[in-house]
Amino acid sequence: MKNIIENIEFSTEKANVFPIKKSDDIKYFAVALGKGAVLKKHIAPVPATLVVLKGEINFLIENEEIKLKQFDVYEIPVNVEHEVVGLTEENLFSVAQEL
């Protein structure tokens, strides 16, 4: 058994990633951000679903700012640059990528 919250740190400096599962079909991981921490600009090369587990984040994509809160689900567009910013002290979201 794994416990995400016991194995991840909410840093204001950088994103912290906790791997949940990886197979030939899926890559599933959790990301923790402290307040103001940024998951720097990147693209999702495959279909991905983000679920906010704790806190609130700003999802910045194509000059748009989407505020996501606990339990919100967002389908991340493929091959579109985006970044994520933590808004509260402890922000945790999971991402499932279809490989």
CB 5 within 8 A of CB 92: yes
Q: How many other β-carbons are positioned within 10 Å of the β-carbon of residue 82? A: 18
Q: Please give the average per-residue pLDDT across 15-39, as a whole number.
A: 98
Q: Which CATH number fits domain 5-98: 1.10.10.10, 2.60.40.420, 2.60.120.10, 3.30.300.30?
A: 2.60.120.10
Domain boundaries defined on the chain: 5-98
Q: What pLDDT is attached to residue 54?
A: 98
Quote the pTM value: 0.96
pLDDT value at residue 63: 93
Please tell me the predicted confidence (pLDDT) of residue 64: 97
Convert 39-72 to b/e letters by CB count within 10 Å (16 or more is b): beeeebeeebebbbebbbbebbbeeeeeebeeee
Q: What is the average pLDDT score of the chain?
A: 97
Residue 52 tokens read as: 């906010």
Candidates 19, 26, 23; CA nearest to 98 is 26
Instruction: List pLDDT tens digits, range 63-88.
Output: 999 999 999 999 999 999 999 999 99
Rg, the chain, Cα only? 13
The DSSP secondary structure of 29-68, one letter per residue, reads EEEEE-TT-EEEEE--SS-EEEEEEESEEEEEETTEEEEE
